[in-house]
Amino acid sequence: MTMFAAATLAVLAALALVVARLVKGPSIFDRVVAGNAVGSLSVLILALIGFVFGRPEFLDLAITYALLNIIGTIAVLKYFRYGDLGRADDGEDA
Protein backbone atom coordinates (compact mmCIF):
# COMPACT_ATOMS: atom_id res chain seq x y z
CA MET A 1 0.00 0.00 0.00
CA THR A 2 2.86 2.42 0.68
CA MET A 3 4.16 1.92 -2.85
CA PHE A 4 0.82 3.05 -4.26
CA ALA A 5 0.79 6.03 -1.92
CA ALA A 6 4.25 6.99 -3.19
CA ALA A 7 3.09 6.55 -6.80
CA THR A 8 0.05 8.72 -6.12
CA LEU A 9 2.23 11.42 -4.58
CA ALA A 10 4.57 11.29 -7.59
CA VAL A 11 1.64 11.65 -9.98
CA LEU A 12 0.28 14.57 -7.94
CA ALA A 13 3.71 16.26 -8.07
CA ALA A 14 3.78 15.78 -11.85
CA LEU A 15 0.24 17.15 -12.01
CA ALA A 16 1.34 20.28 -10.16
CA LEU A 17 4.18 20.82 -12.64
CA VAL A 18 1.88 20.32 -15.61
CA VAL A 19 -0.69 22.76 -14.21
CA ALA A 20 2.11 25.32 -13.85
CA ARG A 21 2.92 24.80 -17.56
CA LEU A 22 -0.78 25.08 -18.37
CA VAL A 23 -0.98 28.48 -16.69
CA LYS A 24 2.42 29.80 -17.82
CA GLY A 25 2.77 28.22 -21.28
CA PRO A 26 4.24 30.60 -23.84
CA SER A 27 1.95 29.52 -26.69
CA ILE A 28 -1.55 28.14 -27.02
CA PHE A 29 -0.21 24.82 -28.28
CA ASP A 30 1.92 24.40 -25.14
CA ARG A 31 -1.22 24.96 -23.11
CA VAL A 32 -3.18 22.41 -25.16
CA VAL A 33 -0.46 19.80 -24.67
CA ALA A 34 -0.38 20.60 -20.95
CA GLY A 35 -4.16 20.21 -20.82
CA ASN A 36 -3.83 16.82 -22.48
CA ALA A 37 -1.17 15.86 -19.93
CA VAL A 38 -3.50 16.91 -17.09
CA GLY A 39 -6.13 14.58 -18.53
CA SER A 40 -3.65 11.73 -18.83
CA LEU A 41 -2.44 12.19 -15.27
CA SER A 42 -6.06 12.30 -14.08
CA VAL A 43 -6.64 8.96 -15.79
CA LEU A 44 -3.61 7.56 -13.97
CA ILE A 45 -4.86 8.89 -10.62
CA LEU A 46 -8.29 7.35 -11.23
CA ALA A 47 -6.69 3.98 -11.99
CA LEU A 48 -4.48 4.17 -8.88
CA ILE A 49 -7.38 5.11 -6.60
CA GLY A 50 -9.50 2.34 -8.08
CA PHE A 51 -6.76 -0.20 -7.43
CA VAL A 52 -6.05 0.97 -3.88
CA PHE A 53 -9.71 0.91 -2.84
CA GLY A 54 -10.52 -2.29 -4.73
CA ARG A 55 -13.00 -0.62 -7.09
CA PRO A 56 -12.41 -2.02 -10.61
CA GLU A 57 -15.18 0.17 -12.05
CA PHE A 58 -12.85 3.14 -11.64
CA LEU A 59 -10.77 1.67 -14.45
CA ASP A 60 -13.82 1.85 -16.73
CA LEU A 61 -14.23 5.50 -15.79
CA ALA A 62 -10.54 6.11 -16.45
CA ILE A 63 -10.74 4.55 -19.92
CA THR A 64 -13.82 6.61 -20.76
CA TYR A 65 -12.12 9.77 -19.55
CA ALA A 66 -9.02 8.93 -21.61
CA LEU A 67 -11.13 8.61 -24.76
CA LEU A 68 -12.86 11.92 -24.04
CA ASN A 69 -9.45 13.51 -23.42
CA ILE A 70 -8.16 12.38 -26.82
CA ILE A 71 -11.27 13.53 -28.67
CA GLY A 72 -11.27 16.88 -26.85
CA THR A 73 -7.61 17.52 -27.60
CA ILE A 74 -8.09 16.75 -31.29
CA ALA A 75 -11.14 19.04 -31.42
CA VAL A 76 -9.30 21.93 -29.75
CA LEU A 77 -6.29 21.56 -32.05
CA LYS A 78 -8.54 21.43 -35.12
CA TYR A 79 -10.35 24.55 -33.98
CA PHE A 80 -7.10 26.47 -33.48
CA ARG A 81 -5.73 25.26 -36.82
CA TYR A 82 -8.79 25.93 -39.00
CA GLY A 83 -11.01 28.20 -36.88
CA ASP A 84 -13.92 25.82 -37.42
CA LEU A 85 -14.74 22.30 -36.29
CA GLY A 86 -16.90 21.46 -39.32
CA ARG A 87 -14.31 21.93 -42.05
CA ALA A 88 -13.06 18.74 -43.67
CA ASP A 89 -9.38 18.54 -44.45
CA ASP A 90 -9.26 18.14 -48.22
CA GLY A 91 -5.50 18.62 -48.52
CA GLU A 92 -5.73 22.10 -50.01
CA ASP A 93 -5.14 25.34 -48.15
CA ALA A 94 -7.61 27.94 -49.36
Tell me: the pLDDT tens digits for 26-69? 988 889 999 999 999 999 999 988 988 899 999 999 999 999 99
Burial class from Cβ neighbours inside 10 Å (0-12, 13-18, 19+) for residue 46 reads buried
Domain range list for the chain: 2-82
- The torsion angles phi and psi of 78, rounded to 5 degrees, stand at -65, -40
pTM for the model stands at 0.79
Number of H helices, E strands in the chain: 3, 0
